[in-house]
Structure 1
Amino acid sequence: MSKNVGITTAILISVIAYLVNLLLSNWDISLGSSTLALILGSIIAYYIPNTEEGGKWMISMIMPIAIILLGFGLNLTTFFAPEIGLTGFFTVFSTALTSFIICYFIGKYVNLDIETTIALGTGGAICGNSAVVAVSPGLRLKEERVAVVLAVINLLGLITFLIVPLLSSILGLSEEQAGIWAGSVIHAVPQAVAAGETIGGEAMVIATAVKLSRVSLLVFIVPICALIGNKI
């Protein structure tokens, strides 16, 4: 019975988060369905008992399917999109590498285990929630750790979504520069697109291309994380 409660609750949260995000998009506000789902889930799980068993079932049964579907959507040709150019191409890899390096040293400084550190680095470097979900099975992260990592990634993603357009204006960046910046640091695709649109039409196109190229890095990151998980 408790499993059914958890499964039903998770499905309802997903639907509500999607609809709310769809509604907010009409006012050019994009927090991302996953961010809203995480917030709603945290609140509802606190007030509704017996949801843990169903949540674990969703993670063990639905998450692998979601990862496979995510893989179907990856497109390596985005690395060579004309909107990105050499500057954007270099930025994608350099920011991803920088994110991993920073996470590694911060994790080492605060005595964080290597699996969680890698998951945080992947979420920040690649594509937020999707990246964390994709690498967590290979890293053998427990559900509690996955939840914490997702919370941190969503918080950081929301902050970057809000400040990148503002700082781009303050710093006087061109639309090309701002678009590359937005696409290379904002976690969720809808948020990167929305931030780029706020800056300008050209920035939106560039931010979208750069962001999608980051997502494609999962093709390389997921098997690497699986190898690391097997050796830990």
Structure 2
Amino acid sequence: MQSPSAATRTPPRWVPGVAAAALAALVAWGIHWLVPAVPLLTAAVVLGIVVGQLPFARPAVTGALSPGLSVAAKRLMRIGVVLLGLKLSLGDIADLGWVTILSTVAIVLVTFVGTMWLGRLFRLPGHQPLLIATGFSICGASAIGAMSGVVKSKDEETATPVALVTLCGTLAIFVLPVLWHPLGLSSLQFGHWVGAGVHDVGQVVATAQLAGPASLAVAVVVKLTRVLMLAPMVAVASVVERRRHVEGDPAAKRPPIVPLFVAGFILAVLVASFIPLPEVVRSASDTLQTALLAMALFGLGTAVRLRTLLGTGWRALAVGLLSWAIIAALALAAVHLS
């Protein structure tokens, strides 16, 4: 016979929020299916931002759904980042050639440092300079979520960088194709430019596919080369954060030198590079990774407060737009060097 305590046991507090995030991911998929030009992950972020502004939804977002949305934004994000590693093959990256590889790495580093400097110049608060630099230089909102987990930033602090990288990445989908022919780029060069200069993987696919399959293939490999930089950048941030903990409070619990999800990401890259995975495994992993990231980005999107962003976020907007222009210009220069 079932005990009274078991019969009255309630589900964990995170269940409603995670279920809401899953439903939102399905809605985002539906939007992408109806309008393929809108990347699924971009739709998920925008949907979260919209829901977060609705007066009748806000009590639930900040109340009953809050624990689950936080789990989605943090834990599910990390699992999604690990699975993202299965898309990477060291062989595919090597096929790009050393000039393209080195220029791609250089773009990431210069954009990261430049955006950090801009963030401090505009006196952005807290971890915002670091998070904006990470998102714009590496792989959009996914990178922001990964970095925020290491530096323990609050959801509200993470929300502005996510909104900015979504805005600029969405602009790229429309602006870069307009510039394709006036700049005299071939389809392969356009793919290289998109892969090196657009933030999120989904946004890269949505932009590069306009120039054909060859352009898309180049764009994805170049983009995933940038994604590979996520592991060392997050590891360095973890070391800095660890040192800060030691200096501030030697008795405090210190973050690991290499976060577990970063180690998992590296392991996934090695598996994809050296173990021939069946296509069904790759397909299932890609679907799961996309679903988890969509849920996570919806959770992050609900933390955005447009009234606060519009009232105090003009400096962050300026940093985002300047960083977007810098990475687009550097990527275009790299195209002509390759």
Would you call these one fold, judging by a TM-score over 0.5?
Answer: yes
CA RMSD of aligned residues (A): 2.4
Counterpart code for 1:39: V
Aligned residues of 1:192 and 1:208 also touching (Cα < 8 A): yes
Which AA in structure 2 matches 1:123?
G
- Unaligned 5+ segments in structure 2 are 1-9, 245-338
For 1:164, the equivalent position in structure 2 comes to 176
Instruction: Select which of 60, 74, 82 maps to 1:63.
Output: 74
Structure scoring higher RCO (CA < 8 A, sep ≥ 6) equals 2
Question: Which amino acid in 2 is paired with 1:22?
Answer: W
Contact 1:103 1:117 survives alignment (8 Å): yes
The one-letter amino acid paired with 1:46 is Q
Q: Is the 8 A contact 1:107 1:114 kept in 2?
A: no
Question: Could you tell me whether the CA contact under 8 Å between 1:123 and 1:130 is conserved in 2?
Answer: yes
For the pair 1:52 / 2:65, whether they are aligned, the reply is no
1:189 has 2:179 as partner? no
TM-score (norm 2): 0.61
Unaligned runs of 5+ in 1: none
Deviations along 1:75-100, one digit per CA (max 9) or x if unpaired, are 35166342x22332123112111211
Task: Supply the distance in 2 between the matched residues of 1:154 and 1:189 (Cα, whole angstroms).
Answer: 12
Query: 1:43 maps to what in 2?
Result: 50
Task: State the partner residue of 1:121.
Answer: 133
CA deviation digits over 1:11-41, x for unaligned, max 9?
Answer: 322221122113322xxx1x32222122222
Residue of structure 1 equivalent to 2:35: 24
Cα-to-partner distance string for 1:81-121 (whole Å, 9 max, x where unaligned): 42x22332123112111211221121111112462211111
Number of equivalent positions: 227
1:210-231 alpha-carbon deviations (Å, 9 max, x no partner)? 0111112122122222223334
Counterpart-to-counterpart distance in 2, 1:80 and 1:56: 39
Amino acid at match of 1:80: I
Opposite residue 77 of structure 1, the aligned amino acid is: L
The reply to whether residue 33 of structure 1 matches residue 36 of structure 2 is no
1:81 and 1:209 in contact (8 A); partners too:
no
Instruction: Please point out which of 223, 236, 259 is paired with 1:211.
Output: 223
Structure richer in helix, relative to its length: 1
Bigger radius of gyration: 2
SS for the counterpart of 1:187 is coil
2:90 match: 77
Structure 1 segment 126-165 matched on structure 2, within 5 A? 126-165=138-177
Tell me the distance in 2 between the aligned counterparts of 1:183 and 1:203.
9
Tell me the TM-score normalized by structure 1: 0.86
